[in-house]
Amino acid sequence: MSKKYQLFQTRRQKSNPHQTRFTNMDPTANKSSPLLVPGAVAAQKPVAGSPMGSSYENQWLAPEEKQRGTSPANSRTGSDAKSSRASSDSGSPQITQQNPNQSQQQPRPTPPRKSQKDMTKAERRALQEQQRLEKQGRIAAGLPKSAKKAAELESTNKKTQQQQQQQQQQQQSSGNGDDKQKKKARAPKTDQNQVPWLMHLDSPKRPETSGNKDLHPAVLALGLYFSEHKIVGSNARCVAMLETFSKVIEEHRPPADATFARNIQKHLDPHIAYLLGTRPMSLSMRECIRWLKKEISDIVEEDPPLSDEEARSRLIEAIEHFIRERITMADQLIVQNGLQKIQDGEVILTYGKSSVVENLLLETKKKGIDFRVIVVDSRPLFEGKHLLRRLAAAGIDCSYFLLSSVYVALRSVTKVIMGAHALLNNGAVYSRVGTAMVAMAARDKQIPVMICCETYKFVNRTQVDSLVLNEIGNPDELVDTKPVFNSCHQTHPTPNESALSSWREQPNLRLLNLLYDVTPSKYITLVVTEVGLIPCTSAPVIWREYK
Amino acid sequence: MTLPTQLEAQVENFITRLKRRQVIGSYEVAKETAVILRQAVSMSRWRDADALIDIIKDLGGRLASAQPKELAVGNIVRRVLKVIREVVRGELDDMMDNDDEYDDDDDDGSYSDGINDESPPPSKNLSTTSSQIGSVSERPQLTVESSMFRLLADVSPATPDDSSDTPEKKAYNLKPLIIQEINEEIIADLETVYKGIADQAIDYIHANEVIMTIGKSRTVEEFLIRAAQKRKFQVIVAETAPTYQGHDMATALSKAGIDTTVVVDSAIFAAMPRVNKVVVGAHAVLANGGLVAVTGSQLLAAAAKHHATPVLVCTALYKLSPVFAYDAETFNITVAPNSILDFQQGPLIDKVTVTNPYYDYVAPELVSLFVHNLGSAPPTYVYRLINDNYDPEDTTL
Chain A within 8 Å of B328 (Cβ-Cβ)?
Answer: yes
Please tell me the distance in Å from B242's CA to the nearest CA on chain A. 8
Of the candidates A197, A378, A490, the beta carbon closest to that of B264 is on A378
Chain B within 8 Å of A201 (Cβ-Cβ)?
Answer: no
Cis peptide before A196 (omega within 30 of 0): no
- Residues A232-250, mean pLDDT to the nearest whole number: 87
Of B323, B342, B198, give the one whose Cα is nearest residue B256. B198
Lowest mean pLDDT among A533-537, B141-145, B213-217, B260-264: B141-145
- Give the predicted TM-score (pTM) of the model: 0.70
Write a three-state SS string for A105-160: HCCCCCCCCCCCCCCCHHHHHHHHHHHHHHHHHHHHHCCCCCHHHHHHHHHHHHHH
Find which of A52-56, A79-83, B145-149, B360-364 is predicted with most confidence, using mean pLDDT: B360-364
* Per-residue model confidence (pLDDT) at position B6: 85
The rounded Cα A158 to chain-centroid distance in angstroms is: 16
Kindly indicate the confidence band of residue A164, based on its pLDDT and cuts at 50, 70 and 90. very low
Q: In a mutagenesis test of the A interface, which of B266, B349, B351 is the best target, namely the one with the most A β-carbons within 10 Å?
A: B266
Find which of A22-31, A44-53, A112-121, B152-161 is predicted with most confidence, using mean pLDDT: A112-121
Chain A within 8 Å of B221 (Cβ-Cβ)?
Answer: no
Chain A within 8 Å of B365 (Cβ-Cβ)?
Answer: no
8 A C-beta contact, residue A531 and residue A440? no
CB atoms inside a 10 Å sphere around CB A53? 17
Above 50 in pLDDT, residue A321?
Answer: yes
Lowest mean pLDDT among A34-38, A460-464, B155-159, B220-224: A34-38
Is the model more confident about A179 or about B273? B273
CB atoms inside a 10 Å sphere around CB B93? 23
* Per-residue model confidence (pLDDT) at position A141: 58
What is the per-residue pLDDT across A356-414, written as a single tens digit (0 to 9) for each?
A: 999 999 999 999 999 999 999 988 888 888 899 999 999 999 999 999 999 999 999 99
Find which of A177-181, A450-454, B23-27 is predicted with most confidence, using mean pLDDT: A450-454
Phi-psi region for residue B346, left (φ > 0), alpha (ψ -120 to 50) or beta? left
- Residues B369-395, mean pLDDT to the nearest whole number: 89
* Residues of chain B contacting residue A505, judged by C-beta atoms under 8 Å apart: none
Burial A440-470 (b: 16+ CB within 10 A, else e): bbbbbeebebbbbbbbbbbbeeebebbbebb
φ/ψ of residue A512, rounded to 5: -125, 120
Of the candidates A398, A486, A491, the beta carbon closest to that of B351 is on A398
* Per-residue model confidence (pLDDT) at position A302: 75
Please tell me the distance in Å from B258's CA to the nearest CA on chain A. 6
- Residues B132-155, mean pLDDT to the nearest whole number: 50
8 A C-beta contact, residue B350 and residue B332? no
* Per-residue model confidence (pLDDT) at position A12: 45
Q: Give this complex's ipTM.
A: 0.76
- Residues B354-381, mean pLDDT to the nearest whole number: 91
Enumerate the H helices of A257-282 as residue ranges.
260-278
Enumerate the H helices of A383-471 as residue ranges.
384-393, 406-409, 435-444
Above 60 in pLDDT, residue A439?
Answer: yes
Of B272, B229, B234, give the one whose Cα is nearest residue A28. B234
* Per-residue model confidence (pLDDT) at position B1: 56
Binary contact (A409, B348; C-beta < 8 A): no
* Per-residue model confidence (pLDDT) at position A211: 60
Of A469, A424, A517, A519, give the one whose Cα is nearest residue A198. A469
* Per-residue model confidence (pLDDT) at position B343: 77
Of the candidates B208, B254, B352, the beta carbon closest to that of A400 is on B352
- Residues A96-111, mean pLDDT to the nearest whole number: 43
Kindly indicate the confidence band of residue B45, based on its pLDDT and cuts at 50, 70 and 90. confident
Phi-psi region for residue B215, left (φ > 0), alpha (ψ -120 to 50) or beta? left
Q: How far apart are CA A443 and CA B154, in angstroms?
A: 64
**DSSP SS3 for A502:** coil
Is the model more confident about B128 or about A373? A373
Burial A313-324 (b: 16+ CB within 10 A, else e): ebbeebbeebbe
A385: Cα within 13 Å, side-chain hemisphere: 15
Above 50 in pLDDT, residue A5?
Answer: no
For the CA atoms of A148, A149, A153, A154, the dihedral, rounded to the nearest 10 degrees, stands at -30
Chain B within 8 Å of A28 (Cβ-Cβ)?
Answer: yes
Above 80 in pLDDT, residue B308?
Answer: yes
* Per-residue model confidence (pLDDT) at position A39: 39
- Residues A73-85, mean pLDDT to the nearest whole number: 42
* Per-residue model confidence (pLDDT) at position B153: 57
Neighbour order of strands in the sheet with B359-362:
B284-285, B291-294, B359-362
8 A C-beta contact, residue A165 and residue A114? no
Residue of A nearest to B275 (CA): A197
Q: How far apart are CA A241 and CA A42, in angstroms?
A: 34
Is the model more confident about B391 or about B280? B280
Q: How confident is the prediction for chain B on average, in pLDDT? A: 80
Is the model more confident about A192 or about B236? B236
Q: How far apart are CA A267 and CA A258, in angstroms?
A: 11
Kindly indicate the confidence band of residue A520, based on its pLDDT and cuts at 50, 70 and 90. very high
For the CA atoms of B356, B359, B363, B367, the dihedral, rounded to the nearest 10 degrees, stands at 130
What is the per-residue pLDDT across A117-160, written as a single tens digit (0 to 9) for each?
A: 556 777 777 778 877 777 776 666 555 555 555 555 555 454 44
Chain B within 8 Å of A255 (Cβ-Cβ)?
Answer: no
Please tell me the distance in Å from B246's CA to the nearest CA on chain A. 9
Above 70 in pLDDT, residue A457?
Answer: yes
Residue A354 CB burial class (10 angstroms; 0-12, 13-18, ≥19):
buried
CB atoms inside a 10 Å sphere around CB A489? 17
Q: How confident is the prediction for chain A on average, in pLDDT? A: 72
